[in-house]
Copies of this chain bind each other. A is one copy, B any other.
Amino acid sequence: MEMSDLVSPKQVSRAIGVSESSLKRWCDQGLLQTVRTAGGHRKIEISEVVRFVRDRNLVLRDPEVLDLPPASEGAELGLVRGQSLLMSALLAGNELLVRQIIFDLYLAKHPISVICDEVLASAFREIGERWACKEADPFQERRGCEIAVRIMFDLRRCQRPPDSSLNAIGGTIEGDQYSIPSTMAELVLREAGWNAVSLGTSLPFSSLARAITDIRPKIFWLSVSYIQPSIDFIQEFAKLSKACMDTGAALVVGGRALTENLRQKMTYCAYCDTMQHLETFAHTHQRVIASAAESSTGDEGIERTTNHSTHLPENQP
């Protein structure tokens, strides 16, 4: 019945493998956020433990006390086998197993961007292939998406609260219903310290432009997994590009629907079809902004050259 699963310092100390005294000291030093019962007993949220473990490069020796995955198995099997395990778990709709695998990799200090690219996206790509071969049903893929989005929400709440001054927003265009890439982008940007908020899927271009001028983010991302044949993408995109130029937002695009042919006609700040690319861009752009703020001669110029390239890890029903 507990919304936020709370555990005692003793449980955490056993899970991490340190003495209870040390753990209580860390709590009192503020390294771990705690809540107190009316009688003064400390209670620690599991997500806080996860955050702490990851920050401090610790290992969960006995994760079972926290209802977390047995690190012994998962942490070692790494990304490759994690991907195949994950795919079958997603196909079977086994949310618990999916959560275990993902958290396991997350606790093993793998960056979120890598988990997104090489495990989650990879698993969904393979599911898409199976679906093409009639070996998987659409409902399995959809159910898997629901599960994946939930896990990403769980990961999100393990992150430290973002710096509110670095706003980033994004979403998908009209007719593109695939929410996973945009949710991933939100997660990755938050991991990089941005206050990223996904606006959702299937938004009209006019509304996206409106959001840019209203919210005035430093980064705007656009995930394009599908383009409706009926719309003039290039023309509509140009409006977005202009809105970003006017407000000084960095326009980041990605998605498997953006063919090279299409990209040549677009103006943007960066093309990332991998979450790892997005992450590096987020970090560098952060530094760009910081140094621009330093030299207070308001140089609003944003480089418009960056252009990573690889394949896009998505499938579109």
> Residue A17 contacts which of B2, B58, B137 (CB distance < 8 angstroms)?
B2
Interface residues of A in 197-228 (CB under 8 A from B): 197-204, 207-208, 210-211, 214
Bound: A60/B2 CA distance, A: 11
Q: Which of the four size classes fits the interface of chain A?
A: 35 or more
- Tell me if A61 is interfacial: C-beta within 8 Å of chain B: yes
User: What's the minimum C-beta distance from A254 to chain B, rounded to whole angstroms?
Assistant: 19
Quick one: CB contact mask for A110-128 with B, threshold 8 Å, 1 for yes? 0000000000000000000
Interface residues of A in 138-159 (CB under 8 A from B): 138-139, 142-143, 145-146, 150, 153-155, 157-159
Set of chain B residues within 8 Å of A317, measured between Cβ atoms: 202
> In the bound complex, do residue B197 and residue A93 qualify as a contact, i.e. CB atoms below 8 Å apart?
yes
Stretch at the interface among A31-39, A231-239, A286-294: A31-39
- Tell me if A77 is interfacial: C-beta within 8 Å of chain B: no
Q: Among the interface residues A3, A57, A138, A210, which one has the most CB atoms of the partner chain B within 10 A?
A: A3
Oligomer copy total: 2
User: What's the minimum C-beta distance from A135 to chain B, rounded to whole angstroms?
Assistant: 13
Bound: A229/B93 CA distance, A: 31
Set of chain B residues within 8 Å of A35, measured between Cβ atoms: 56-58, 61
